[in-house]
Amino acid sequence: MYALKFTTSLPLFVLIFLCANPAKGQIQQIQKELHRLPLFKDSISLVNSLNRLGTLYRTRNADSCFYYGMEAKRTATTIRYRKGQTDADHLIAFALFTKGLYAESLELLSDVLSQYQRLGDTEKIALVYLDMVRVENKGISDREKITSLLLKAIEAGIKTENDSIMSEVYLTYLYQGPDLSEDSIRYYHEKSREIANRYKDEIMLIAIDSWEANQLVSIGKKEEALPLMKQSQSDAKRIGNTKLEFNSLATLINYENNPEKKLEYLYKAYEVAQRSGDKSLEIYILNNALEVAKLLGDKDEIIKIYVELEKSMSAEWERSRKFMGDYVKYNGIQHDNKLLSEKNARRALWLIIISAAASIIVLAIYLIMLRRSRKAKEQIETINTAANMQIIAMEEAKHQAVRDEQQRLSQDLHDGLSSSIAGIGHQLEVISMDTDDPALKNKLAQLQTEVAKAYETARNKSHEWFTAADEREEQSFAQRIKLLTDSALPDSRYHKDIHIDDCSVLRVNVDTRITLLRIIQEAITNIIKHARANRVGVLIYEEADNLILIINDNGKGLGQIKSANLKSAMGLQSIRRRTRYLNGEANIQSDSNGTEITVSIPLLSA
């Protein structure tokens, strides 16, 4: 009958934009968040606060929602805070939708959805699906796609630990889902109310009452619907929620057939839209009010509505112009973010290349050090083997001296004692032949037998000692040291200067020579391991009844021995300990030009 007719979809989706807090509570939260904003010192907390502000402005002011979303996106992108970027994109997508940029909003929501799925945030996933339903309903209105999105929202929502969002999801499914059987309608209606009651969600309870009123109107039970609609309007006004209040008034407008009464409700809805700050909603209501005024033929009302409509359209134009400026900035941010991402990608590539090069260099250094370590180990093993061989040879020489003494004793035994015994035996034989006394002859015969045994024993022992003694020529001490250094320090890498006065070691015993050899071995081991030298000198000479041993190199010096050079310190301690064992003194001097070890041992008096 009349041109003015509100569809149920508009009131519903005004409702779906609601936040979980009443308007007064929102204002307090906004003021609190704005007060805290300058106090944040870390960027992540700042981004989270900006996103909270944008969320609070979703139901109040799309421009503010867009502004805080952009600020959060800019900061989050700079610090690479992925979740902060995703939350900001969600706010921006919602603001684009409210400004009629449906395609852009859907594209951004798709990106946001994939990010929340990667993060596993099921509650945010359900919210994104609901936002996509809103965009599809206002833009393309593909019923099958909307139903599919709602089913996905249900699937995501039931996985959340806090299922309070499911009250809104189920109610949205009742409004925008497919045609349902009475049992299905009853099921989703009861589930929505049960969850809203459980969480004491007053906003959703008012929205459910509004839906019930619409259902009663749709089946012709207007008289039963009227008290419920008025109660919904009263409750929405009480909690200060302009969107819910408008939703209830829209239901009353559709219910009312009287144009004058309808125009009265339209004016009330216009006041509510003004309080909400939604200029597009104001324009929508004024256009519908204009149609009713024209039907009534009330010129004064028509003029008044035209004046208000011009004001609202001018304000909306100004807001749209500002929004377009912000949208241009947003695109600039997106472009900057793209450039930043490309820059970060190049930087990451360079970091990978540098890291790989560094790894190769470290590996090469490690292999070189390993090779050097192996060579040093081989050299040390060689010097140890050579030293041990030389010491064995010296020990053998020591035993040879014992054998020489045995040979001398065997000769003395053969030439002296054996001859004397043989003479005694001969004299006993002569005496026995000269006597006629049988008893004496018997005693002399016994003595001759014992003397013969003694002679045989002395003769056998002298032969045994003489045979055991084997002559062996001993190497000089200088030759032994030369063999030791040649085996450990190859001529290709070291210049060696070895001077040994063999006469100076004539007055020291074999044990002392072995100890000197061990000291030289220990010093050369330290040179191989730590000094990095290429010149090594060994000098032994006699000075003022002292044997002097000097070992020097042109390496990097000992410096301050740290824990890493503990083995080097132990080597030096071993040299000092061996020197003290010989009643000598050890002096170690070292600087950056090399190290010199001087050992002084007192010689035995001649």
Strand, helix or coil at 308?
helix
Token pair recorded at residue 296: 């009534």
Instruction: Identify the band that residue 102 occupies on the pLDDT scale cut at 50, 70 and 90.
Output: confident
The CATH class for the domain spanning 477-602 reads alpha beta
Instruction: Identify the band that residue 10 occupies on the pLDDT scale cut at 50, 70 and 90.
Output: very low
Closest CA to 484 of 411, 418, 387, 373: 387
C-alpha 390/C-alpha 395 separation (Å) is 9
Query: Is the pLDDT confidence value at 98 over 70?
Result: yes
Tell me the C-alpha to C-alpha distance, in Å, between residue 560 and each of 334, 337, 553, 593.
59, 54, 18, 15
Sheet containing 585-591, strands listed edge to edge, beginning at the edge strand earlier in sequence = 495-500, 535-543, 546-553, 594-602, 585-591
Closest CA to 131 of 151, 105, 162: 105
pLDDT of residue 400: 56
Query: In terms of C-beta density within 10 A (0-12 exposed, 13-18 middle, 19 or more buried), how is residue 349 classed?
Result: exposed
Would you say 575 and 536 are in contact if contact means Cβ atoms under 8 Å apart? no
pLDDT of residue 587: 92
Tell me the C-alpha to C-alpha distance, in Å, between residue 589 and each of 209, 256, 340, 558, 567.
98, 111, 60, 9, 18
Biggest alpha carbon distance in the chain?
193
Would you say 128 and 90 are in contact if contact means Cβ atoms under 8 Å apart? yes
Query: Is the pLDDT confidence value at 84 over 90?
Result: yes
Tell me the C-alpha to C-alpha distance, in Å, between residue 215 and each of 212, 220, 580, 591.
5, 9, 110, 99
Please state the separation of Cα 321 from the chain's center in Å: 48
C-alpha 236/C-alpha 194 separation (Å) is 20
Would you say 579 and 541 are in contact if contact means Cβ atoms under 8 Å apart? no
pLDDT of residue 474: 43
Closest CA to 521 of 578, 562, 474: 578
pLDDT of residue 406: 59
Query: Is the pLDDT confidence value at 61 over 80?
Result: no
C-alpha 482/C-alpha 478 separation (Å) is 6
Mean local confidence (pLDDT), 443-467: 67
The pair phi, psi for residue 549, each rounded to 5°, is: -120, 125
Tell me the C-alpha to C-alpha distance, in Å, between residue 453 and each of 36, 189, 430, 450, 478.
122, 134, 18, 5, 50
Would you say 235 and 250 are in contact if contact means Cβ atoms under 8 Å apart? no
C-alpha 154/C-alpha 63 separation (Å) is 30
C-alpha 89/C-alpha 70 separation (Å) is 8
Instruction: Identify the band that residue 188 occupies on the pLDDT scale cut at 50, 70 and 90.
Output: very high
Query: Is the pLDDT confidence value at 594 over 80?
Result: yes
**Tens digit of each residue's pLDDT (9 = 90 or more) over 126-166:** 999 999 998 888 755 678 888 899 999 999 888 888 888 89
Which amino acid, residue 106?
Answer: L
Closest CA to 283 of 268, 275, 273: 273
Closest CA to 513 of 470, 553, 479, 472: 479
Token pair recorded at residue 444: 């002399």
Mean local confidence (pLDDT), 72-93: 91
Neighbours of 463 (CB within 10 A): 14
